[in-house]
């Protein structure tokens, strides 16, 4: 049975999760890139994945999903980080460890997103989250 307490408690838990684990993981990831050590960056990615898992557990406890704001922030952050990575790659200053670190981050986050959709909504439900079939008489 899910806990149905005030939404403020959920917000505090989510904020604490990302403030501690999320920023720590990001710091470890960036430290790995600064030192050209893929293994350190991969450890940072693992901590970020742990923060995402804790977020899902908190959502489960409070019997909620991701809020529209959380979804927008996550997708926007992913896009912004992707843009920064592509800009850095085009600049030519990235080492092999930097490339591998970036690819690890984006690959793991992409796979994690797909696994979340499939486990939360099933294959058909995950597809219907993106595919909207117009009602008869609407659209072309």
pLDDT band at 15 (very low <50, low <70, confident <90, very high): very high
Question: What integer pLDDT is reported at residue 67 of this predicted model?
Answer: 87
Kindly report, residue by residue over 59-80, the tens digit of the pLDDT: 989 888 888 888 899 889 989 9
DSSP 8-class letter at 36: T
pLDDT band at 114 (very low <50, low <70, confident <90, very high): confident
Per the structure block, which two tokens stand in for 110? 């992409």
pLDDT at 51 over 90: yes
pLDDT band at 124 (very low <50, low <70, confident <90, very high): low
Give the residue extent of every domain in the chain.
Answer: 7-130
Question: What integer pLDDT is reported at residue 2 of this predicted model?
Answer: 56
- The whole-chain average pLDDT of the chain stands at 85
Give pTM, 2 decimals. Answer: 0.78
pLDDT band at 126 (very low <50, low <70, confident <90, very high): low
The DSSP line for 64-129 is ----HHHHHHHHHHHHHHHHHHHHHHHHT---HHHHHHHHHHHHHHHHHHHHHHHHHHHHHHHHHH
pLDDT at 118 over 70: yes
Interatomic CA distance for residues 116 and 110, integer angstroms: 10
DSSP 8-class letter at 21: I
Question: What integer pLDDT is reported at residue 123 of this predicted model?
Answer: 64
């Amino acid at each position: 049975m899910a806990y149905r307490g005030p939404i403020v408690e959920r917000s505090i838990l989510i904020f604490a999760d990302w403030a501690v684990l999320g920023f720590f993981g990001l710091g470890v990831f960036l430290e790995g890139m600064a030192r050209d050590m893929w293994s350190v960056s991969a450890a940072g990615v693992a901590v970020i994945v742990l923060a995402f898992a804790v977020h899902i557990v908190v959502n489960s406890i409070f019997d909620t999903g991701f809020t529209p704001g959380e979804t927008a922030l996550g997708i926007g952050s992913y896009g912004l980080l992707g843009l920064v990575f592509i800009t850095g790659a085009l600049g030519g200053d990235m080492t092999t460890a930097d490339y591998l670190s970036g690819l690890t981050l984006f690959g793991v986050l992409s796979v994690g997103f797909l696994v979340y959709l499939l486990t939360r909504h099933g294959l058909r439900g995950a597809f219907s989250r993106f595919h909207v079939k117009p009602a008869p008489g609407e659209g072309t």
